[in-house]
Amino acid sequence: MPVELHERLSEFSYGYGVTREVERRLRSQGLSATPFLPSLLHEAGLGFDVGFKRPGTPLMLQFKLGQAMRRFDPSPRPTLDQPFWRYRIDTAEPDGQFELLLKAEQDGADVFYLAPKFHDWEIYLEAFERERVLQRSLVVRPSDIRNTLDTHSVPDGKHKVVYDTGNAYLCSDPLELPSVEARDLAPKIRARLESRRIPISDVLDHVLNGFADRSTIRRGSKSRGDSERGAYAIPSDDGRQAELRQSRLARMRAVGRSEEEAIALAVGAEAWSSGAQLIFVTDQS
């Protein structure tokens, strides 16, 4: 039987370990890395200086705890070592997690799914003590998931990411999925900041505006008129999401020290509500 990772690991602890290591790696590249905390939504602004006019990027880390597996069913079976792991992803849900992350990436953010290549808290603790949690994680961009589907003419919907210590596939039919080496994550972000030299405030503004219009990436078969979804009064289905987003931004403007800070708070709130850790990354050189 598969091992449910959420029963053997804490998403909070795993996310904390990944975030701390990402911060250290970014700082080794001469970058400032400041995580967004949900407590900031109840305080008078961010409480720290992001340096909004510096070149930077909003970095979003989405943590996934799935299952540890020893059998792959049904066939065809991809080339996998034992043990291997999988997590589920729905690329078609309107205003769902994948859609939010993919849109943020297309609008200039750096966005990654991260999933552990281990399945017990003792293994996690050893990796944490040795600062190897990120090294022992699968790192995948939302855009690589979308591109893999498009390349093989596979429609959006409910899929599984299946991986071992060295390979990753998008299933049901196993499709090889590109991943990012942990050691390359911080240098890639450093290189991107150097190549585009855009203030982080501009990127955050673009990302926030992009949250309101995801039509450019939506291809799902699910409709907003779905009777089952309609029974739950989901704001994005009944037209209330835009009003709620504007009300939230107005509250952020009331507590933020500037328009840039209000936008940063709004982006952080929406990323956090979907389960993603937002880190404000800026160039300090």
List, for residues 184-193, the tens digit of each pLDDT value.
Answer: 999 999 999 9
Q: What is the pLDDT of residue 46?
A: 67
Q: What is the pLDDT of residue 158?
A: 93
Q: What is the pLDDT of residue 43?
A: 67
Total-model pTM:
0.89
Q: What is the pLDDT of residue 77?
A: 76
Residue type, 38: P
Evaluate whether 217 touches 106 at the Cβ level (below 8 Å): yes
Closest CA to 91 of 217, 273, 231, 175: 217
Q: What is the pLDDT of residue 33?
A: 94
Q: What is the pLDDT of residue 199?
A: 95
Q: What is the pLDDT of residue 17?
A: 95
Residue that the structure tokens 């043990």 belong to: 83
- What is the largest distance, in Å, between two alpha-carbon atoms of the chain? 56
Q: What is the pLDDT of residue 15?
A: 95
Encode the chain in three state secondary structure. Answer: CCEEHHHHCCHHHHHHHHHHHHHHHHHHCCEEEEECCHHHHHCCCCCCCCCCCCEEEEEEEEECCCEEECCCCCCCCCCCCCCEEEEEEECCCCCCHHHHHHHHHHCCCEEEEEEECCCCHHHHHHHHHCCCCCCCEEEECHHHHHHHHHHCCCCCCEEEEEECCCCEEEECCCEECCCCCHHHHHHHHHHHHHHHCCEHHHHHHHHHHHHCCCCCCCCCCCCCCCHHHHCCCCHHHHCCHHHHHHHHHHHHHHHCCCHHHHHHHHHHHHHHHCCEEEEEEEECC
Q: What is the pLDDT of residue 2?
A: 82
Q: What is the pLDDT of residue 60?
A: 98
Q: What is the pLDDT of residue 285?
A: 74
Q: What is the pLDDT of residue 206?
A: 95
Q: What is the pLDDT of residue 176?
A: 94
Q: What is the pLDDT of residue 224?
A: 46
Q: Tokens for 248, please give them.
A: 């939230």
Q: What is the pLDDT of residue 31?
A: 95
Residues in the chain where the model's pLDDT stays below 50: 222-225
Q: What is the pLDDT of residue 244?
A: 86
Q: What is the pLDDT of residue 222?
A: 47
Residue type, 181: E
Q: What is the pLDDT of residue 74?
A: 66
CA atoms within 13 A on the CB side of 244: 11
> How many CB atoms sit inside 10 A of residue 46's CB?
22
